[in-house]
Structure 1
Amino acid sequence: MITLDNLDNKLLENYRGFVVKKDLVRSVKVGANVPVFVLEYLIANSCSTDDEEKIRQGMENVKKILSEHYVNPEESNLIQSRIRQEGSYKIIDKISVKLDTKKDLYWAQLQNSNIKDGVISDAMVSEHDKMLMGGIWAIIDVEYDAYSKDGAVLHPFVIKDINPIQLSSFDNSKLITKRKEFSKGEWLNVLLRSCGYEPESEGMSHRIKMLLLSRLIPMVESNFNFIELGPRSTGKSFVYKELTPYAVLISGGQGTVAKLFVHGSTGRVGAVGQWDAICFDEATDKIFKDSDAIPLMKDYLESGSFSRAGTGGEITGVASIILNGNINQPVETILQTSHLFAALSDEVNTDTAFLDRLHFYLPGWEMIKFSPKNFTNSYGFSTDYFSECLKSFRRITYTDVLEEHFSLGSHLKQRDTKPVKKTVSGFIKLLHPDGTYTKEDVKEYLEIALEMRRRVKEQLKRIGGMEFWDTNFSYIDKESQEEHFVGLPEEKGSHLIENTPLQPGVCYTCTSDGDHLALVRIEVVTTQGSGKLNVTGLSNTKVKENIKNTYQYIKANEKSILNSQHSLSSLDLSVQVTTVLGSNISTGIGSAVYMSIISSIYKKNLKPGLAVLGNISVGGAVEKSINLADKITMLSENGAKTTIVPMDNLPELSNVPASVLGNTDVPFYSNNQILMQKGILLE
């Protein structure tokens, strides 16, 4: 007995003939090599009904076709023999083509049939040129010709006809006109069921639904640059592998100039001109086989075009680029020690010019791990129809929609504005194909767009420093003139510097090694002893010298620094140095160490959220801090309420972003007495 819910009935009422019961696909046991769109192509017309008997008959027919014509890899010899015996045979297989430049002809390769040198005409290759780029699934007529030779070598398998497994004609008007029969929530569920997901299953919050839906944006928006990094088993590549014949998966390390951009000898445009979306699977291992593909990809990600010597000028493409990969650590751990691009392959994970061109960073760590209960048994659009709908939406744009009601904040540059507008446009195409939407709809999509682009920018700031300081993304409601700021879920509560009074002996600072910053926590514990200094948490000898010099300065000036009740000769000091965030610690921590030692000896709390920059030399001179603006910014973003800075750094204060100075007080000091006055919490 088939049980239908209200949404099933609505779909059958409005889209009969275009929908299919999704569990039928899973019930057809044909092996893992058959994409969903191949199976649904075969069952959509015969099984788009709620009549159990018709569904049963339709499924029997589908199973018969598959058993007789679909090729399982282990049956390749049997199929080749059947083609020979019958002279001509129709099969369902994935066909690709390679050019033999030595003989100036093409050879067809049938994936599961294990035919590697099938004869195919130039005209057929021209008609179905995607066979040259990863191949296509098709119903293929193969003929056996025992006299077909290339010299003395027999090539008996001849491709006579190809029918790609996708609709031969398409009209999206029905999808658009009937959209009004569904609420926004119902339509979102329809789209997710069409992808095979069950939106009403456990764990499917509205946010998860929207994140799942966002995986379709590269299919409806041309030149959309999308990245998703997260745990395994979250279905990152499912959409691009199974649901559409217009996307191609490229395995890690297989991205060559010829395959992606243009073939040097033939001048044929590569994947960017052939597909709607190119998904680099396992981008955490390696993306490109040729190192010279990287600059071409940067050009393409930026403008949708590239130029290559000998190709006769600029070449354009419309393919969206997707990078998928696995993150094995908790995101909190990654953010404490590194950045969220670190999992990408070494060729690009610190290349800010490459990473800055990514439009949308989907937080894969939020996605649910899929189990059978998360896949739907209900109706959804058949994937051949659905994929054609997605493709048809690429011809229209809604990139100016947000300007009807909102303007973007000052921190968004041109490279940020474009991704935000394209993301909003993509959501409108998917959820409002009839062009009917509200201000609240646009606001929801705008906030998602700002978050996903800001995630890119925040990681660039961790890698590249002040060049990417402007990450405080916002939008302004044109009607109320109210400005709204959009944060990142993973950054909430991540203030690493306590906003309560610091315990005696605890102080924070920031060091820099070139462009690489480290947020450092210093903790000093003082006990009665014989004047020993013990430093832990450090391997850098120069930083250890930094600490020893500060200690020696206090020891040499005990009478002026400490009162008569305290002497370093009767105290043992343990100094623990911890890198809380960022790269390896560097020198320049003397002033923070001084503050920690004195507050520990006197058992005095320091101000809430206190950080100290600069160094005190053996002679007591205050040395300025390098990379001041970067350091203050990093400290501020991680909770610093007060950052005390050497007076010699005063001219550089103008380099610190105004938004940072609005959150963090920056007093100056010229000697150790003023430093203590401004850091100790008054009782």
Structure 2
Amino acid sequence: MITLDSLDEKLLDHFRGFVVKKDLVRRVKVGANVPVFVLEYLIANSCSTNDEEKIKEGMENVKNILSQHYVNPEESDLIHSKIREAGSYKIIDKIEVKLDPKKDKYWAYLHNSNIKDAVIRDSLVLDHDKMLMGGIWAIMDVEYDPNIKVGNTIYPFVIRDIKPIQLSSFDVSKVNNKRKEFSKEEWMNVLLRSSGYEPSSEGMTHRIKMLLLSRLLPLVESNFNLVELGPRSTGKSFVYKELTPYAVLISGGQGTVAKLFVHGNTGRVGAVGQWDAICFDEATDQLFKDKDATPLMKDYMESGSFSRAGAGGEITGNASVILNGNINQPVQTVLQTSHLFSPLSEEVNSDTAFLDRIHFYLPGWEIMKFSNKNFTSNFGFSTDFFSEVLKSKRRENYTDALEEYFSLGSHLKQRDTKPVKKTVSGFIKLLHPDGNYTKEDIREYVTFAIEMRRRVKEQLKRIGGMEFWDTNFSFIDKDNQEETFVGLPEQKGTQLIENTPLKPGICYTCTGDGVNFSVVRLEVVTTEGSGKLNISGTSDRDVKENIKNTYQYIKANEDQILNEQHSLSNFDIHVQITNLLGDKINSGVGSATYIAVLSDLYNQNLKAGLAVLGNISIGGAIERSNNFTDKVTMLSENGAKTVISPMDNLSEMASIPQSVVGSTDVPFYSNSQMLMQKAILID
């Protein structure tokens, strides 16, 4: 008997006949062209057991079927002969159909059999119209009739019958009813094993599990737009290629208007209306063959519909869109030189209107490169059953679930709110198919969802500037009004502070109460206005008070600090605070705010790696920085090259470690004018 773990036993108890031991697929030595769902379709019923003898018998049966009927590409001539000699022969192959408008006929193409222009009747095409959209795997009866001619050409191969390799019927209530038998962690592991992953393997943290499950979101949520960029060999396209017959992979440059949207001659709706998910593999190459496809895709990704002249008005579709591609550099290097969309095809990587329609940026660089130890040998749902579970969930909707417990912060606009709600809805469908979830479940999903959408928005800010300023995403607990801000892991590296000249309006500081310290980024944007001050990124009263005091000091001393052209009464000042590292932002951001405001007003770059400590009172007094040594050390360790500090801290200079002094300059200031002189980059 095979050794089972407790999860295997539960699956066999509650889903016998619908589960399969996942390593069986790897045992079957067949050509690499056979998708997982084809093999598991054949072995699920006979091998859904822990009886080793029955598994052996079932596997022998599967091998016999494959050896007799599955077509290896190198055996295509032999299959042609078998069909001819027998008159009719059953094969397993991928069938694709195209319309020949010149002859007004459909022709079938069998990929591995290399049978081109096989005769197929219209009714079969209409019953299985996905054959027109990239093809389907099926068990087919192929006949040989040398009497079929068109003109003087013989077309002897005839597709007589087709059985798509998927379940003929499905009832999702079994999954919904049995979910209560599993804990949340167990159910998560069931989904991962059903996808082929081993959740107990090394490196499988809870976050990695959530990232892997995220690849399933486009299969349970209609019109869900996801991008994943990361290293090779992390399985980015595996889900859409192998785990479901309801997704299609489109190679780079092959996206045409006819294939994706609507055929100009026939009016037939393309892939967006035929599939649950369309995955552009290698999206770092050209995406679309036709230039007209890009604006149509933008319309579709925004609303799930598009208009095309001659197509009879607006056409809708439910297909989700996935862009997959490789990042060949470390993510921190990419962030230092450009943005996280830069590896995408040139036709979209700087098109903010296109990129803003992406709901979810999955950080593929966090996922390990897969080896044999990461693939499961335990039981999981058979792929045909699993794909039906995922498809059935597309009809459900939990986009309002987060509103039971939370509201979204002010920086999330309509185009941000929709992705967050759809992501939460998708995780509920995956992990709580019975609809039973808790507030803490929703808290986890909304945090995850906000991060993935914020990653999109942060890159848009790098590309498009002020238009995408509002990136300090948060959510608010309706019970206690506590606001939680959600950051990005890639913004918390060891070199948080740029070692190049800082752009106008950007400055760094460090806050702390003696126990907890935070590296803080201040970003100021000034716009034409009437003198309003807007603060975002913090709910701390003392921090806001620092900023307001600094603002009032500048306003009260405009005649010495500013010229008439730059009077604060002519501008609105937007101050955004981001906690890059640490638990909580505390008081001590006033002087950094002063530098950020003035540098943006005068469009002056600041010194490379600049950080500023201390506060400025309303009267202009420079306040000493508490915990000076710890703050300078923390800033230095995170990339600061210069830490301008209050003169009152000069006596503590001797306490700074020599390693810090050797890598970071620590000048001092006693008034705001001296502070500005030491901060501005002099060409």
TM-score, normalised by the number of residues in structure 1: 0.78
- Correspondence list, 1:428-443, <5 A: 428-443=428-443
Is the 1:252–1:281 contact (alpha carbons within 8 Å) kept by the matching residues of 2? yes
Residue of structure 2 equivalent to 1:468: 468
Cα shift at 1:653: 7.1
Residue of structure 2 equivalent to 1:211: 211
Q: CA RMSD in A?
A: 3.0
* Structure 1 CA distance for aligned equivalents of residues 521 and 288 of structure 2: 45
Q: Does 1:510 align with 2:439?
A: no
* Structure 1 CA distance for aligned equivalents of residues 21 and 168 of structure 2: 22
Question: 5+ residue gaps in structure 1?
Answer: 499-505, 512-516, 522-607, 614-624
Is the 1:509–1:612 contact (alpha carbons within 8 Å) kept by the matching residues of 2? no
- Correspondence list, 1:239-278, <5 A: 239-278=239-278
Cα shift at 1:237: 0.2
Cα shift at 1:2: 1.4
Residue of structure 2 equivalent to 1:679: 676
Matched AA of 1:29: K
Is the 1:508–1:611 contact (alpha carbons within 8 Å) kept by the matching residues of 2? no
Cα shift at 1:656: 3.4
3-state DSSP of counterpart to 1:219 = helix
* Structure 1 CA distance for aligned equivalents of residues 523 and 85 of structure 2: 85
Residue of structure 2 equivalent to 1:150: 150
User: Please, which of 558, 562, 566 is the counterpart of residue 649 of structure 1?
Assistant: 566
Q: Deviations over 1:179-208 (max 9, x none)?
A: 100000000000000000000000100000
* Structure 2 CA distance for aligned equivalents of residues 137 and 118 of structure 1: 16
Relative to 1, partners in 2 of residues 1:496 and 1:15: Cα closer, same or farther, differing over 3 Å?
closer
* Structure 1 CA distance for aligned equivalents of residues 348 and 523 of structure 2: 34
Relative to 1, partners in 2 of residues 1:507 and 1:169: Cα closer, same or farther, differing over 3 Å?
closer
Residue of structure 2 equivalent to 1:664: 593
Is the 2:527–2:573 contact (alpha carbons within 8 Å) kept by the matching residues of 1? no
Q: Does 1:133 align with 2:133?
A: yes
* Structure 2 CA distance for aligned equivalents of residues 210 and 678 of structure 1: 46
Cα shift at 1:410: 0.2
Matched AA of 1:252: G
* Structure 1 CA distance for aligned equivalents of residues 185 and 426 of structure 2: 17
3-state DSSP of counterpart to 1:131 = helix
* Structure 2 CA distance for aligned equivalents of residues 73 and 222 of structure 1: 35
* Structure 2 CA distance for aligned equivalents of residues 119 and 439 of structure 1: 57
* Structure 2 CA distance for aligned equivalents of residues 353 and 317 of structure 1: 20
* Structure 2 CA distance for aligned equivalents of residues 249 and 452 of structure 1: 23
- Correspondence list, 1:28-43, <5 A: 28-43=28-43
Question: 5+ residue gaps in structure 2?
Answer: 509-518, 538-546, 555-560, 578-588, 605-668
Q: Does 1:25 align with 2:55?
A: no
Cα shift at 1:458: 0.1
Residue of structure 1 equivalent to 2:69: 69
Is the 1:628–1:649 contact (alpha carbons within 8 Å) kept by the matching residues of 2? no
Cα shift at 1:492: 1.6
* Structure 1 CA distance for aligned equivalents of residues 325 and 218 of structure 2: 17
* Structure 1 CA distance for aligned equivalents of residues 238 and 497 of structure 2: 41
Identity among equivalent positions (%) equals 73
* Structure 1 CA distance for aligned equivalents of residues 346 and 370 of structure 2: 29
3-state DSSP of counterpart to 2:71 = coil
Is the 2:233–2:370 contact (alpha carbons within 8 Å) kept by the matching residues of 1? yes
* Structure 2 CA distance for aligned equivalents of residues 372 and 496 of structure 1: 36
Is the 2:522–2:593 contact (alpha carbons within 8 Å) kept by the matching residues of 1? no
Number of equivalences: 564
Is the 1:119–1:157 contact (alpha carbons within 8 Å) kept by the matching residues of 2? yes
Is the 2:358–2:456 contact (alpha carbons within 8 Å) kept by the matching residues of 1? yes
Cα shift at 1:650: 3.3
Relative to 1, partners in 2 of residues 1:198 and 1:493: Cα closer, same or farther, differing over 3 Å?
closer
Relative to 1, partners in 2 of residues 1:668 and 1:119: Cα closer, same or farther, differing over 3 Å?
closer
3-state DSSP of counterpart to 2:675 = helix
Residue of structure 1 equivalent to 2:222: 222
Is the 2:507–2:593 contact (alpha carbons within 8 Å) kept by the matching residues of 1? no
* Structure 1 CA distance for aligned equivalents of residues 392 and 274 of structure 2: 16
* Structure 2 CA distance for aligned equivalents of residues 612 and 6 of structure 1: 52
Matched AA of 1:429: K
Matched AA of 1:470: D
- Correspondence list, 1:440-589, <5 A: 440-493=440-493, 496-497=496-497, 508-510=501-503
* Structure 2 CA distance for aligned equivalents of residues 398 and 121 of structure 1: 42
Residue of structure 2 equivalent to 1:82: 82
Larger Rg, first or second structure (1 or 2): 1
Matched AA of 1:656: I
Relative to 1, partners in 2 of residues 1:653 and 1:2: Cα closer, same or farther, differing over 3 Å?
farther
Matched AA of 2:179: R
* Structure 1 CA distance for aligned equivalents of residues 282 and 493 of structure 2: 31
Cα shift at 1:312: 1.0
Q: Deviations over 1:127-179 (max 9, x none)?
A: 00000000000000000001011110000000000000000111111111011
Cα shift at 1:665: 2.6
Residue of structure 2 equivalent to 1:187: 187
* Structure 1 CA distance for aligned equivalents of residues 190 and 462 of structure 2: 39
**Structure 1 stretches of 4+ moved >6 Å:** 608-613, 625-629, 641-645, 669-675
Cα shift at 1:3: 1.3
* Structure 2 CA distance for aligned equivalents of residues 430 and 626 of structure 1: 44
3-state DSSP of counterpart to 1:97 = strand
* Structure 2 CA distance for aligned equivalents of residues 477 and 203 of structure 1: 32
Residue of structure 2 equivalent to 1:106: 106
3-state DSSP of counterpart to 2:4 = coil
Cα shift at 1:646: 5.7
3-state DSSP of counterpart to 1:89 = strand
Is the 1:508–1:520 contact (alpha carbons within 8 Å) kept by the matching residues of 2? no
Q: Identify which range, 653-662 or 18-27, moves more after superposition.
A: 653-662
* Structure 2 CA distance for aligned equivalents of residues 668 and 440 of structure 1: 43
